[in-house]
Amino acid sequence: MNAEIVAIGSELLTPYFQDTNSLFLTEKLNEIGIEVAFKTLVGDNRRNLTQAAQTALGRAEIVVFMGGLGPTEDDLTRECVAEALGRELNRDPELIAALYKMFAERRRRMSPNNEKQAEVIEDAVILKNNFGTAPGQWLEAEYENRQRYIMLLPGPPYELKPIFEEQCLPRLRKHVPEMFLARRQLRIAMMAESECDARVSPIYKAAEGVDTTILATGGEIQLHMRARADTKEIAESRVEELAAKIEDELGDYVYSRGEPLEDVVGLLLQLKNSTLAVAESCTGGMLGSRLTQFSGSSRYFLGGAIVYSNELKTLFANVPPPLIEQHGAVSKEVAEALAVGVREECQATYGLAITGVAGPTGGTPEKPVGLVYHAVSDELGTEVVERRFPGDRERIRRFATQQALDMLRRKLINS
Amino acid sequence: MNAEIVAIGSELLTPYFQDTNSLFLTEKLNEIGIEVAFKTLVGDNRRNLTQAAQTALGRAEIVVFMGGLGPTEDDLTRECVAEALGRELNRDPELIAALYKMFAERRRRMSPNNEKQAEVIEDAVILKNNFGTAPGQWLEAEYENRQRYIMLLPGPPYELKPIFEEQCLPRLRKHVPEMFLARRQLRIAMMAESECDARVSPIYKAAEGVDTTILATGGEIQLHMRARADTKEIAESRVEELAAKIEDELGDYVYSRGEPLEDVVGLLLQLKNSTLAVAESCTGGMLGSRLTQFSGSSRYFLGGAIVYSNELKTLFANVPPPLIEQHGAVSKEVAEALAVGVREECQATYGLAITGVAGPTGGTPEKPVGLVYHAVSDELGTEVVERRFPGDRERIRRFATQQALDMLRRKLINS
């Protein structure tokens, strides 16, 4: 069965807002075997919304409307869907009473326009909203002689998500053939997308019954694989077989089956009872910020130094000023000294350092924008990697942290 | 005039991809007085795409199709739009020659399926693509007896943007009445959205001819104001008058007319010939990362310390261990000591420190998740602010950096 998602709200037609609910809805619909065939975004405009509702009902078996269920004049979803279906809109006395009660409990006076939220399309089932005042609606109806499953959901994600999962999905499941979905994800660090695709596309294209999607951004590639089958076993074995083949092909470029790189590094550090300290120049704290994204990182991450100025490179990581004068702050030698220095200062097992030219200013012919040195140090020695990253400042900084984390990961799995 | 944007690509109907081109197109269309009435996302499916094209051509005067112009079987935009319009599709011999030339120059052999990219809808103008192989197309046509302006654009943003700006906008301008757009943006830090809206909505609702949009996220509110008028002067005076009224109402909550908070703080530090050092516990480097987002931050930002462990609080910021034992790492006293210590160690004019419980683990009844202390120190003294932020770890960390930057901003403008 095919679905259409209709997102309602004039803000969605400005340059400022993106609809993100539909990603969640798509994932959940896909899980039970429903594909999304169309998404439509339309403003709070009676004619346009009614038109969009008619179009959607004409071409999709399942139509999810979201947004436009509030109490203001601009909230037109109930009326427009009712009009598109040629059905009455009735005020539900129980819902009105519940609204007054809800406002009273919060010690607020309800303005009469809120009664609008108690309007229900003829024969619709009311979907209780535990996190807001606008209930959703579920409707099974014929449109142009074809069976349709229709949902009206509130726009705020924390209201929409529980209503959809708890009240819509179980109803939808009754009408779609039972299917099992299995998923795998492989994450790959510091590989060019074109190279990755050239190596893995012959493999995934030959895999029957598995959909594969490649996402690439900032030194990271995610391969998402999905298989649907009549039994759980078949679906699972299909994705597992493909994932294993791709892992064989890419070897240790694959760093996880879903966990972020920061997490993998943290796990490996814990396994080895090791600690980490960082010294960051051009990334200014981004590496530390990534390493502390997850609760519990204090078990292996001690902290470190943001050595943006040359003086702090000396103060916090004991880099000798003559070394900086001789080679420049962006150099193999200074990267190495930073990793060693911050490790020793902090008494960490590993020291990880980044120094580079993130741009857009500050580049020279010898040291162009994008040139970054990464160093990882332990008591046995220090390794430095020089890279030239393309792109803007944010992209270069993101790549630099990714490269540094990946170096540490490789050191941890190979030592 | 109204526009519809049709984004084409099966990946846009998965849980993984968002269409971002349409935000750019919306902004550019708005600038010349065209509103976007609908956005449609459709997959690489002949029937669905033709249907979406017919729907769009039926309801909008300007239709922008993007994506699906490549050489593969899945690239159906040309054929489906031609079919929707009932027009022929012809292969342009000059385009074919140009394609072969382009491949030869890159020393690559062109496979014959690339010739598909030379297919042009009857009477369409070819829009040259300097950054890829798929040219765009511009077409003025009647659909159901109504005049339509139709564009076919390639999907990659770096191809789409220059074609749209240089070749589509000048053509569109000829067909829309000349209008002038003026814009203002106000940025506001650390104010609740509901409070902000309660104070400013009576003002912007009373302002005639100005559209106002409020965006709120992570301790920051952006007010976007836009006015369109027959003359530049009228449009400018309308937004300026509203912006000034809102600035009067909100006072120093407004921190800029567009520049990010990091930038405003950097500018103020430069104006005062001052320098800054940071000590970060729960934010782990996020504050430093924000402060170094822009080239040139080395003029005022020295760096600092990521003091995730208690030992590093002592090592890098001279916090006495008994102080940590007595009050705990998350305390007013330790925040103060961190700001003073890092300022003195780094010989900076200002020291800025953050220590808190970012969660989700690590909270206690006395020190719950979300409790954060922020301290700013200069030679005259130190100020500490305690906050309780709601939300998840990322949100709490983002709020903490926003609060710290805003404290420093207020100190800089008031000293």
- pLDDT digits over A96-133, tens only? 998 888 888 878 888 888 888 999 999 999 999 988 88
Q: Do B288 and A285 touch (CB under 8 A)?
A: yes
**Is residue B359 within 8 Å of residue B317, measured between CB atoms?**
no
* pTM of this structure: 0.88
pLDDT at B259 (0 to 100): 95
Domain architecture of chain B: domains with CATH: 2-173 (3.40.980.10), 180-256 (3.30.70.2860), 261-414 (3.90.950.20)
Q: Which residue of B has its CA nearest to A357?
A: B295
What pLDDT digit, counting tens, does each position of B280-294 carry?
Answer: 999 999 999 999 999
Q: Specify the amino acid at residue A282.
A: C
What pLDDT digit, counting tens, does each position of A125-163 carry?
Answer: 999 998 888 899 999 999 999 999 999 999 999 999 999
CA distance B92 to chain A (A): 30
Q: Taking the C-alpha atoms of A317, A323, A324 and A326 in order, what is their torsion angle to the nearest 10 degrees?
A: -170
Which class for B294: exposed (0-12), middle (13-18), buried (19 or more C-beta within 10 A)? middle
CA distances from A80 to A59, A83, A146 (A): 17, 5, 19
Q: Across residues B51-66, what is the average pLDDT?
A: 98
Q: Which chain A residues contact residue B282 at CB under 8 A? A: 292
Q: Which chain B residues contact residue A37 at CB under 8 A? A: 13, 42-43, 45, 48
ipTM above 0.90 for this complex: no
**Is residue A120 within 8 Å of residue A95, measured between CB atoms?**
yes
Q: Which residue of B has its CA nearest to A313?
A: B303
pLDDT at B325 (0 to 100): 97
CA distance A286 to chain B (A): 5
Q: Do A284 and B303 touch (CB under 8 A)?
A: yes
CA distances from A145 to A5, A141, A176 (A): 21, 9, 19
**Is residue B370 within 8 Å of residue B403, measured between CB atoms?**
no
Identify the CA nearest to B65 among candidates B133, B132, B139, B131.
Answer: B139
Q: Do A303 and B316 touch (CB under 8 A)?
A: yes
Given the structure tokens 């710290």, which residue do they identify? B404
pLDDT band per the 50, 70, 90 thresholds, residue B358? very high
* Measured distance CA(A208)–CA(A390) in Å, rounded: 37
Q: Which chain B residues contact residue A360 at CB under 8 A? A: 295
Q: Across residues A357-368, what is the average pLDDT?
A: 93
**Is residue B239 within 8 Å of residue B245, measured between CB atoms?**
no
CA A10 to chain centroid: 25
Q: Which chain B residues contact residue A45 at CB under 8 A? A: 37
Q: Which residue of B has its CA nearest to A24?
A: B15
Q: A332-346 vs A310-317: helix axis angle to the nearest 10?
A: 40
CA distance B301 to chain A (A): 7
Query: Percent of chain B scored above 70 by pLDDT?
Result: 100
pLDDT at B105 (0 to 100): 83
pLDDT at A71 (0 to 100): 87
Query: Percent of chain A scored above 70 by pLDDT?
Result: 100
Average pLDDT, chain B: 94
State the count of interchain CB pairs (< 8 A) between A and B: 217
Q: Which of A24, A308, A360 has its CB closest to that of B292?
A: A308
B13 touches chain A (CB under 8 A): yes
* Residue A216 clears pLDDT 90, i.e. is over it: no
Identify the CA nearest to A289 among candidates A304, A307, A271.
Answer: A304
Identify the CA nearest to B401 among candidates A278, A342, A300, A284.
Answer: A284
Q: Which chain A residues contact residue B308 at CB under 8 A? A: 288, 292, 297-298, 301-303
Local structure of residue B110 (DSSP, 8 states):
P
pLDDT band per the 50, 70, 90 thresholds, residue A315? very high
Q: Do A37 and B48 touch (CB under 8 A)?
A: yes
CA A151 to chain centroid: 25
Q: Do B288 and A303 touch (CB under 8 A)?
A: no
* Residue B178 clears pLDDT 90, i.e. is over it: no
Q: Which residues 389-408 of B are in CB contact (within 8 Å) with A? A: 393-394, 397
Q: Which residue of A has its CA nearest to B14?
A: A26
Q: Which residue of B has its CA nearest to A292?
A: B284
Q: Which chain B residues contact residue A346 at CB under 8 A? A: 311-312, 315
* Residue B33 clears pLDDT 90, i.e. is over it: no
Q: Do A23 and B16 touch (CB under 8 A)?
A: yes
pLDDT at B217 (0 to 100): 82
Check the CA dihedral A226-A227-A230-A233 and report its sign: negative
CA distance B303 to chain A (A): 5
* Measured distance CA(A136)–CA(A155) in Å, rounded: 10
Beta bridge partners of B280: B306, B354
* Measured distance CA(A126)–CA(A109) in Å, rounded: 24
* Residue A83 clears pLDDT 90, i.e. is over it: yes
Q: Across residues B64-77, what is the average pLDDT?
A: 92
* DSSP SS3 for B310: helix
Query: Percent of chain A scored above 90 by pLDDT?
Result: 82
Q: Which of B14, B291, B296 has its CB closest to that of A26?
A: B14
Q: Which chain B residues contact residue A396 at CB under 8 A? A: none
CA distance B299 to chain A (A): 9
pLDDT at B379 (0 to 100): 96
Q: Taking the C-alpha atoms of A102, A106, A111 and A113 in order, what is their torsion angle to the nearest 10 degrees?
A: -40
B12 touches chain A (CB under 8 A): yes
* DSSP SS3 for B104: helix
Q: Across residues B99-116, what is the average pLDDT?
A: 84
Q: Do A305 and B309 touch (CB under 8 A)?
A: no
* Measured distance CA(A262)–CA(B215) in Å, rounded: 30
Q: Do A15 and B23 touch (CB under 8 A)?
A: yes
Identify the CA nearest to A213 among candidates B18, B41, B17.
Answer: B17
pLDDT at B72 (0 to 100): 84
* Residue A192 clears pLDDT 90, i.e. is over it: no
* Residue B218 clears pLDDT 90, i.e. is over it: no
A30 touches chain B (CB under 8 A): yes
Question: Tokens for A329?
Answer: 């702050």
pLDDT at A33 (0 to 100): 87
What pLDDT digit, counting tens, does each position of A17-71 carry?
Answer: 889 999 999 999 998 989 999 999 999 999 999 999 999 999 999 999 999 998 8
**Is residue B150 within 8 Å of residue B81, measured between CB atoms?**
yes
How long is chain A? 415
* Residue A415 clears pLDDT 90, i.e. is over it: no
* Residue B195 clears pLDDT 90, i.e. is over it: no
pLDDT at B261 (0 to 100): 97
pLDDT band per the 50, 70, 90 thresholds, residue B103? confident
Q: Which chain A residues contact residue B347 at CB under 8 A? A: 311
Q: Which of A13, A27, A282 has its CB closest to that of B36?
A: A13
Q: Which chain A residues contact residue B27 at CB under 8 A? A: 15
Q: Which residues 285-324 of A are in CB contact (within 8 Å) with B? A: 285-289, 291-298, 301-309, 311-312, 315-316
Strand order in the sheet with A210-217: A210-217, A220-229, A180-189, A254-256
Q: Which chain B residues contact residue A358 at CB under 8 A? A: 292, 295
pLDDT band per the 50, 70, 90 thresholds, residue B338? very high
Average pLDDT, chain A: 94
pLDDT band per the 50, 70, 90 thresholds, residue B216? confident
Q: Across residues B135-154, what is the average pLDDT?
A: 97
Q: Across residues B78-103, what is the average pLDDT?
A: 93
Q: Which chain B residues contact residue A294 at CB under 8 A? A: 393
